């Protein structure tokens, strides 16, 4: 989980847990193969929840009005699991989520991405 100095850390982590619960209900199966650490599968799934874009989405959800687009910029490529979970989160929360990664802009809307899953 790393840095916990943000004043809203507890609320962000609670929202991450809520997102994880809703993703599971929607049928999302985490792709733990993207975690290269030598830890058990459950820990790998937990690690995925705390990728930067998930933390940013959680922060955006608790900090903005419903239906407000979320805009996220990161300096690394979006991993497969975050890409698939962000697609679902855009549908679950009814949000447009725009993620600028190292290679491109991803516009997630109603469960799909503008890159058509090719990035």
Non-local (6+) Cβ contacts of 47 within 8 A are 35, 37, 39
Query: Which stretch of DSSP H or E encloses residue 74?
Result: none
19 vs 107: CA distance, rounded Å: 19
Of all residues in the chain, the percent with pLDDT exceeding 90 is 69
The more confidently predicted of residues 90 and 52 is 90
Q: How sure is the predictor about 68, in pLDDT bands with cuts at 50, 70 and 90? A: very high
pTM of the model: 0.87
100: which strand partners?
A: 73, 105
Q: Sketch the domain layout of the chain as residue ranges.
A: 9-113
The tens digit of pLDDT for each residue in 74-86 reads: 999 998 889 999 9
């Amino acid at each position: 989980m790393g840095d916990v100095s943000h004043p809203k850390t507890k609320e962000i982590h609670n929202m991450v847990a809520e997102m994880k619960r809703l993703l599971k209900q929607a049928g999302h199966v985490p792709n733990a193969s993207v975690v290269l650490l030598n830890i058990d599968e459950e820990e790998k799934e937990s690690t995925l929840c705390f990728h930067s874009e998930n933390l940013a989405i959680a922060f955006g959800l608790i900090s903005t009005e419903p239906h407000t687009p979320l805009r996220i910029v990161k300096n690394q490529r979006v991993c497969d699991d975050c890409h698939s979970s962000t697609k679902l989160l855009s549908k679950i929360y009814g949000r447009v989520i725009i993620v600028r990664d190292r290679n491109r802009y991803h516009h997630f809307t109603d469960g799909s991405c503008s890159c058509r899953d090719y990035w």
